[in-house]
Amino acid sequence: MQILRCPVQLQLLEETLRNSLPATLPVLGTVMTVAQGNPAAHEVLVDSWPHFSVILTRLRPEEHKDPRDYYANQLSVFYRDEGALRVLLGGTEAVSRARAFQILGMQEGLDEAVREVAGARGLQVK
Protein backbone atom coordinates (compact mmCIF):
# COMPACT_ATOMS: atom_id res chain seq x y z
CA MET A 1 0.00 0.00 0.00
CA GLN A 2 1.14 3.50 -0.81
CA ILE A 3 0.37 6.50 1.41
CA LEU A 4 -0.67 9.55 -0.60
CA ARG A 5 0.74 12.81 0.77
CA CYS A 6 1.24 14.89 -2.37
CA PRO A 7 -1.42 17.62 -2.69
CA VAL A 8 -1.64 17.06 -6.46
CA GLN A 9 -2.27 13.34 -6.03
CA LEU A 10 -4.88 14.00 -3.34
CA GLN A 11 -6.64 16.55 -5.56
CA LEU A 12 -6.74 14.10 -8.47
CA LEU A 13 -8.06 11.39 -6.18
CA GLU A 14 -10.74 13.74 -4.84
CA GLU A 15 -11.92 14.53 -8.36
CA THR A 16 -12.03 10.83 -9.24
CA LEU A 17 -13.98 10.01 -6.09
CA ARG A 18 -16.53 12.76 -6.73
CA ASN A 19 -17.38 11.08 -10.03
CA SER A 20 -18.36 7.89 -8.20
CA LEU A 21 -20.57 9.28 -5.45
CA PRO A 22 -22.32 8.00 -3.35
CA ALA A 23 -20.21 4.80 -3.13
CA THR A 24 -17.05 6.81 -2.42
CA LEU A 25 -18.58 8.90 0.36
CA PRO A 26 -16.89 7.00 3.24
CA VAL A 27 -13.39 7.86 1.94
CA LEU A 28 -14.04 11.19 0.20
CA GLY A 29 -14.33 13.23 3.41
CA THR A 30 -10.98 11.99 4.69
CA VAL A 31 -9.29 12.60 1.34
CA MET A 32 -10.57 16.18 1.41
CA THR A 33 -9.43 16.64 5.03
CA VAL A 34 -5.93 15.31 4.32
CA ALA A 35 -5.67 17.53 1.23
CA GLN A 36 -6.56 20.59 3.34
CA GLY A 37 -3.75 20.14 5.86
CA ASN A 38 -4.85 17.05 7.77
CA PRO A 39 -5.73 18.44 11.21
CA ALA A 40 -7.22 15.07 12.22
CA ALA A 41 -3.98 13.06 11.65
CA HIS A 42 -5.41 10.68 9.05
CA GLU A 43 -3.76 9.05 6.08
CA VAL A 44 -4.94 7.88 2.68
CA LEU A 45 -3.60 4.60 1.33
CA VAL A 46 -4.02 3.17 -2.17
CA ASP A 47 -2.92 -0.19 -3.51
CA SER A 48 -1.35 1.51 -6.56
CA TRP A 49 -1.21 4.94 -8.10
CA PRO A 50 -2.73 6.33 -10.29
CA HIS A 51 -4.74 3.24 -11.25
CA PHE A 52 -5.97 2.09 -7.86
CA SER A 53 -8.30 -0.77 -6.98
CA VAL A 54 -8.61 -0.05 -3.25
CA ILE A 55 -8.52 3.11 -1.13
CA LEU A 56 -8.23 2.87 2.64
CA THR A 57 -8.33 5.81 5.03
CA ARG A 58 -7.29 5.53 8.65
CA LEU A 59 -5.86 7.37 11.63
CA ARG A 60 -2.07 7.39 11.55
CA PRO A 61 -0.82 4.37 13.53
CA GLU A 62 1.28 6.51 15.87
CA GLU A 63 -1.89 8.33 16.99
CA HIS A 64 -3.47 5.19 18.49
CA LYS A 65 -3.54 5.28 22.27
CA ASP A 66 -5.65 2.22 23.15
CA PRO A 67 -5.49 -0.92 20.97
CA ARG A 68 -8.96 -1.95 22.20
CA ASP A 69 -10.64 1.30 21.10
CA TYR A 70 -12.29 0.42 17.81
CA TYR A 71 -13.90 3.87 17.60
CA ALA A 72 -10.47 5.48 17.30
CA ASN A 73 -9.35 2.83 14.83
CA GLN A 74 -11.97 3.40 12.15
CA LEU A 75 -11.02 2.43 8.64
CA SER A 76 -12.95 3.61 5.60
CA VAL A 77 -12.71 1.74 2.35
CA PHE A 78 -13.69 2.07 -1.29
CA TYR A 79 -12.78 -0.61 -3.78
CA ARG A 80 -13.18 -1.24 -7.47
CA ASP A 81 -12.17 -4.90 -7.20
CA GLU A 82 -13.36 -7.17 -4.40
CA GLY A 83 -10.32 -9.41 -4.86
CA ALA A 84 -8.03 -6.46 -4.16
CA LEU A 85 -10.06 -5.76 -1.02
CA ARG A 86 -9.57 -9.34 0.17
CA VAL A 87 -5.81 -9.05 -0.43
CA LEU A 88 -5.76 -5.80 1.55
CA LEU A 89 -7.64 -7.35 4.48
CA GLY A 90 -5.80 -10.64 4.51
CA GLY A 91 -2.30 -10.03 3.37
CA THR A 92 -1.07 -6.54 4.15
CA GLU A 93 -0.14 -4.66 7.28
CA ALA A 94 -2.39 -1.75 6.31
CA VAL A 95 -5.06 -3.30 8.54
CA SER A 96 -3.46 -4.14 11.88
CA ARG A 97 -4.82 -7.20 13.59
CA ALA A 98 -3.13 -6.13 16.83
CA ARG A 99 -5.94 -3.62 17.43
CA ALA A 100 -9.71 -3.68 17.46
CA PHE A 101 -11.07 -1.82 14.44
CA GLN A 102 -14.16 -0.90 12.45
CA ILE A 103 -14.41 -0.87 8.68
CA LEU A 104 -16.80 1.59 7.09
CA GLY A 105 -17.92 1.26 3.49
CA MET A 106 -21.05 1.35 1.36
CA GLN A 107 -20.41 -1.34 -1.21
CA GLU A 108 -22.05 -4.71 -1.49
CA GLY A 109 -19.71 -7.54 -0.63
CA LEU A 110 -17.75 -5.66 2.04
CA ASP A 111 -19.38 -7.48 4.95
CA GLU A 112 -18.89 -10.88 3.29
CA ALA A 113 -15.24 -10.16 2.51
CA VAL A 114 -14.51 -9.04 6.08
CA ARG A 115 -16.24 -12.07 7.60
CA GLU A 116 -14.48 -14.48 5.23
CA VAL A 117 -10.99 -13.08 5.86
CA ALA A 118 -11.58 -12.87 9.62
CA GLY A 119 -12.90 -16.44 9.71
CA ALA A 120 -9.86 -17.72 7.84
CA ARG A 121 -7.65 -16.11 10.49
CA GLY A 122 -9.77 -17.31 13.41
CA LEU A 123 -10.85 -13.79 14.33
CA GLN A 124 -14.24 -12.73 15.62
CA VAL A 125 -16.41 -10.17 13.79
CA LYS A 126 -19.11 -8.24 15.62
Mean pLDDT of 10-16: 96
Query: For the chain, what is the total number of helices (H) and then of strands (E)?
Result: 4, 5
| pLDDT value of position 6 | 92
| pLDDT value of position 92 | 63
| pLDDT value of position 90 | 79
Condensed to tens digits (0 to 9), the pLDDT of residues 21-77 reads 999 999 999 999 999 888 788 999 999 999 999 999 988 877 767 777 777 788 899
Please list, in sequence order, all residues whose beta carbon lies within 8 angstroms of the beta carbon of residue 11, skipping any fewer than 6 positions away.
Answer: 35
Burial of 56 (0-12, 13-18, 19+ CB in 10 A): buried
Condensed to tens digits (0 to 9), the pLDDT of residues 77-107 reads 999 988 888 888 877 676 767 776 778 888 8
